[in-house]
């Protein structure tokens, strides 16, 4: 740590502590230097940082005013569940944790929740349901925070039916890098006054402003659900069935594509058994008013799938049966975490999934890689898990770039959920046109001319 930075941080620590804001050293809270990005990518956080835990928007404003005056970088941290290094500190400065920002209000009459940035997804769901409403999208790990989910525009398995975070944000409060507080939107369904800065901040990954409070749209309570497991011999048959299910007018709560190997990994970790499986498998979750309606819809889906080559279908109506299936699916990543190089989350038009996966698998095989695939078939978001192999360090960058090139050729994007962060920053520059990238840079400069907010992420100034 340079003498100048050390003196500045000591000065800032004293000011914040005297103001009643919690301040810690990195030695005290070492886990705050990391998120869930796979260690294989070799992200090396800067350890010369202070961790601050403000309790409200005014305290965040105070922190940002001091940081702006001293030209000290600030890295915003929510639940630390990200997979792209977005919360990892890349320079000496401050980590601003939102975990103490726990304001929570459920407005039943206006079907919305007012949440501090530190409210977790689990807390949001529980409070909404206790009030007779629901937060339907379920866009991530339940320890993820509202501020983090908004800042990354989180998606999840229910995005096909219920959309992503962007579709639920009615208003937000945020602090600019210079400490100014802005309030955008509110408990409004319609607001057409000027450029929509709120939606510019959603998905900006903490590079433009610190989101401190969010107004989220809530929906009526969930209805009954059923989960259908369907095995196919080919990925083509599975995706053709997906298209036909949607064409038939049924929009499932979730529609997941899972390879056999992925299911076997999930079974091993969970200790649960998946029903009969094959090389390509679908997991379809549907909603209905009652069991009769669920059975009717499930049987129609089964008929469609068998018509596209499925051998049979397993329909789970009971809570335990459904929970077991979800547990197998949700623990796939946990079962191969130590072997995974990176969790890729390319998004392509749903009908292009078979071509994308087959082309990628062909490339991987030629380069000596094994890739495990699963993901959200209904919205085209495929999670690919390249596994470590001998000499992977020298070859992986080429594999990744080839996957991204194939995605672009098929009209896709390099990330559908996890964001850019650090790990896809170079790839973003190649993915966008020169004009598009320069516009992003201009937007960053307009909000953060000194480049103090989450530097080293998404775009370079």
Q: Read off the pLDDT of residues 159-176 as tens digits, 9 standing for 90 and up.
A: 999 999 999 999 999 999
- Which single residue is written with the structure tokens 């649960």? 272
Name the band, by pLDDT with cuts 50, 70 and 90, for residue 6: confident
pLDDT by residue (tens digit) across 269-296? Answer: 999 999 999 999 999 999 999 999 999 9
Residue extent(s) of CATH 3.30.70.2740 domains in the chain: 336-442
The CATH number, out of the four listed (3.30.70.2190, 3.40.1380.20, 3.40.50.300, 3.30.230.10), of the domain defined by the range 224-334: 3.30.70.2190
Where residue 1 falls among pLDDT bands split at 50, 70, 90?
A: low
Whether the per-residue pLDDT at 71 is higher than 90: the answer is yes
* Residue 338: φ, ψ to 5°: -75, -20
Could you tell me the pTM of the whole model?
0.94
Average pLDDT over residues 438-460: 97
Which pLDDT value is given to residue 2? 66
Residue 376 confidence (pLDDT): 94
Distance CA 159, CA 213 (A): 23
Average pLDDT along the chain: 95
Mean pLDDT for the stretch of residues 332-349: 95
What's the rounded Cα separation, in Å, for the pair 341 and 285? 30
CATH code matching the domain that covers 336-442, chosen among 3.10.20.30, 3.30.70.2740, 3.40.50.200, 3.30.9.10: 3.30.70.2740
* pLDDT at 415 > cutoff 90: yes
CATH number of 104-217, picked from 3.30.465.10, 3.40.50.620, 3.90.1010.10, 3.30.450.20: 3.30.465.10
Which of 344, 341, 345 is CA-nearest to residue 393? 341
Degrees, nearest 5: CA angle 389-357-246: 145
**Residue extent(s) of CATH 3.30.465.10 domains in the chain:** 104-217
CB-based contacts of 127, cutoff 8 Å, min separation 6? 104, 106, 113
Confidence of residue 440 (pLDDT cuts 50, 70, 90): very high
pLDDT of residue 328: 96
For residue 461, the model assigns a pLDDT of 84
For the chain, the first-to-last Cα distance in angstroms comes to: 24
Q: Which helix (H) or strand (E) holds 59?
A: helix 57-70
For the segment 233-257, the average pLDDT, to the nearest whole number, is 93
CATH: 3.40.718.10, 3.30.43.10, 3.40.30.10, 3.40.50.300. Which one for 3-100? 3.30.43.10
Q: Within the chain, which residue ranges are assigned CATH 3.30.43.10? A: 3-100
Residue 3 clears pLDDT 80, i.e. is over it:
no
């Amino acid at each position: 740590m340079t003498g100048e930075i050390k003196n500045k941080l000591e000065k800032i620590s004293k000011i914040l502590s005297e103001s009643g804001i919690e301040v810690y050293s990195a030695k005290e809270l070492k886990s705050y230097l990391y998120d869930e990005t796979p260690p294989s990518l070799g992200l090396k956080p800067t350890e010369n940082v202070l961790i601050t835990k403000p309790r409200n928007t005014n305290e965040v404003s105070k922190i940002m005013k001091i940081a702006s005056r001293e030209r000290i970088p600030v890295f915003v941290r929510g639940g630390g569940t990200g997979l792209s290094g977005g919360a990892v500190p890349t320079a000496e400065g401050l980590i601003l944790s939102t975990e103490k920002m726990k304001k929570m209000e459920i407005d039943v009459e206006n079907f919305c929740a007012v949440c501090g940035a530190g409210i977790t997804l689990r807390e949001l769901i529980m409070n909404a349901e206790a009030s007779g409403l629901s937060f339907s999208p379920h866009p991530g790990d339940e320890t993820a925070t509202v501020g983090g989910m908004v800042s990354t525009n989180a998606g999840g398995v229910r995005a096909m039916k219920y959309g992503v975070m962007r579709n639920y944000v009615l208003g937000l409060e945020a602090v600019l890098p210079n400490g100014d507080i802005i309030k955008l939107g509110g408990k409004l369904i319609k607001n057409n006054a000027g450029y929509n800065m709120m939606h510019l901040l959603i998905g900006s990954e903490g590079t433009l402003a610190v989101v401190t409070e969010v107004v989220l749209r809530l929906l009526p309570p969930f209805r009954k659900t059923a989960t259908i497991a369907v095995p196919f011999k080919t990925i083509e048959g599975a995706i053709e069935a997906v298209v036909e299910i949607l064409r038939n007018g049924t929009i499932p709560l979730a529609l997941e594509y899972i390879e056999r190997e992925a299911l076997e990994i999930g079974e091993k970790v969970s200790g649960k058994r998946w029903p009969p499986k094959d090389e390509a498998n679908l997991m379809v979750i549907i909603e209905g008013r009652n069991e009769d309606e669920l059975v009717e819809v499930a049987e129609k889906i089964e008929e469609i799938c068998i018509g596209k080559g499925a051998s049979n279908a397993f329909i789970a109506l009971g809570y335990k049966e459904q929970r077991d299936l979800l547990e197998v699916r949700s623990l796939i990543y946990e079962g191969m975490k130590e072997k995974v190089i990176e969790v890729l989350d390319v998004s392509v038009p749903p009908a292009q999934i078979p071509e994308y996966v087959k082309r990628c698998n062909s490339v991987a095989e030629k380069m000596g890689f094994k890739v495990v695939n699963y993901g959200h078939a209904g919205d085209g978001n495929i999670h690919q898990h390249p596994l470590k192999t001998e000499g992977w360090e020298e070859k992986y960058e080429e594999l990744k770039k080839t996957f991204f090139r194939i995605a672009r050729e098929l009209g896709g994007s390099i990330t559908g959920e996890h964001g850019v962060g650090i790990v896809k920053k170079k790839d973003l520059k190649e993915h966008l046109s020169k004009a598009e990238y320069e516009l992003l840079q201009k937007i960053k400069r307009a909000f953060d001319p000194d480049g103090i907010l989450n530097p080293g992420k998404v775009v370079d100034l």
